[in-house]
Amino acid sequence: MGSGMARALVGVGSIQGEKETMQDLNDCLASYLEMGRSLETNNQKLESKIHEHLEKKGPQVRDWGHSLKTIKDLWAQIFANSVDNARIVLQIDACLAAAGFTVKCETELATCQSVESDIHRPHKVIDDTSVTHLQLETDMEAFKEELLFTKKNPEEEVTGLPNQSANSGLIVELAVPKSQDLSKIMADILGPV
């Protein structure tokens, strides 16, 4: 049988090989069927022996009355313990929920403080910018007034400069280059026309 199975698995492919494989498989099936019949016969024998044994021994009646009170007491204790366990589980759940809410509250508080800090930071920048803006406006007004004053009194300042420079003891000498004749320079560049 083993060699036939090996040939079938290898796949010899010849008709003779297939016939041998089929014969081996049929033999194997017959062997399994015979084994099944044998097990059924043995099972029936065991069942009849068990049945005979129970008939010989006869039914026994036991008196459980003395144990019923103990059983009832144990059931009452089990029920009471179950109720206590349920109460303890509820208390544990409540404590865990409270701890969870505490953690969530602390997290929310930290987030809120962070957001408030982020909100106040731009306000400080806006305030600083407003102060700088006001200072620049004040400086601009002062410059405008100075410009108006300078435009009003240019002659006074120009005439007052030599007096100021004379009083300061500063001597200014201007070295002005001699001016060149531009028409002559142009004629030299362009050449004779």
> Residues 117-126: what's their mean pLDDT?
85
Element (DSSP H or E) covering residue 42: helix 15-57
User: Do residues 18 and 32 make contact, with C-beta atoms less than 8 angstroms apart?
Assistant: no
Q: What is the pLDDT of residues 53-112, one digit of tens each?
A: 888 876 666 677 778 888 999 999 999 999 999 999 999 999 999 999 999 999 999 999
Strand (E) positions, 57-132? none
Nearest to 28 by CA among 55, 1, 10: 1
pLDDT band at 8 (very low <50, low <70, confident <90, very high): very low
More confident residue, 187 or 8: 187
Provide the residue ranges of all domains of the chain, joining segments of one domain with +. 1-58
> Residues 161-170: what's their mean pLDDT?
64
Q: Per-residue pLDDT for 167 more than 70?
A: no
pTM exceeds 0.85 for this model: no
pLDDT band at 154 (very low <50, low <70, confident <90, very high): low
Q: What is the pLDDT of residues 134-152, one digit of tens each?
A: 999 999 999 888 888 777 7
Q: Per-residue pLDDT for 174 more than 70?
A: no
- Quote the radius of gyration of the chain (alpha carbons, Å): 60
Distance of CA 50 to the CA centre of its chain: 67
Backbone conformation region of residue 169, classed left if phi is above 0, alpha if psi is from -120 to 50, else beta: left
Q: What is the pLDDT of residues 35-59, one digit of tens each?
A: 999 999 999 999 999 888 888 876 6
Percentage above 70 pLDDT, the chain: 75
Residue 155's contacts (CB-CB under 8 Å, 6 or more residues apart) are none
CA distance 63 to 71: 14
User: Do residues 173 and 166 make contact, with C-beta atoms less than 8 angstroms apart?
Assistant: no
More confident residue, 13 or 41: 41
